[in-house]
Amino acid sequence: MAEEMWGCRSDEALGRHLLNLDIGLPIDELKLPIRRTQTGESAYSEHALRALNRRGKTIETQVTLAPLIESGGSITGTIILIKVA
């Protein structure tokens, strides 16, 4: 489904950082919120963003960011949930 939405095949995405993928989502707008989540400055945030699907159609998305916390309490990453309206 992600390939159909964003036009990015698994072999193009595997091993690459999300922020380096050209998928039509305005990733630059998420860089700072992702950093804030990874440093613990922000525990949870939501962002309404306009994106382009692989066919060039504008879509509305709701991006939710939350820290990925290991059992010891340290943040090991960011959970990114993208909901398409």
Residue 79 belongs to domain with CATH number = 3.30.450.20
**What is the residue type of 34?**
I
pLDDT at residue 18, rounded to an integer: 84
**What six digits make up the tokens of 59?**
């879509």
Residue 79's nearest CA partner among 70, 68, 71 is 68
* pTM of the entire predicted model: 0.84
Q: How many residues does the chain have?
A: 85
Count of the separate structural domains present in the chain: 1
pLDDT at residue 41, rounded to an integer: 94
- Identify how many contiguous H helices and E strands the chain contains and give both numbers: 3, 3
How do the pLDDT tens digits run along the chain, 85 residues long? 778 888 888 888 899 988 888 888 998 999 999 999 999 999 899 999 999 988 899 999 999 999 999 999 999 999 999 999 7
pLDDT at residue 8, rounded to an integer: 87
pLDDT at residue 62, rounded to an integer: 97
Residue 48 DSSP SS3: strand
Structural domain boundaries, residue 80: 2-84
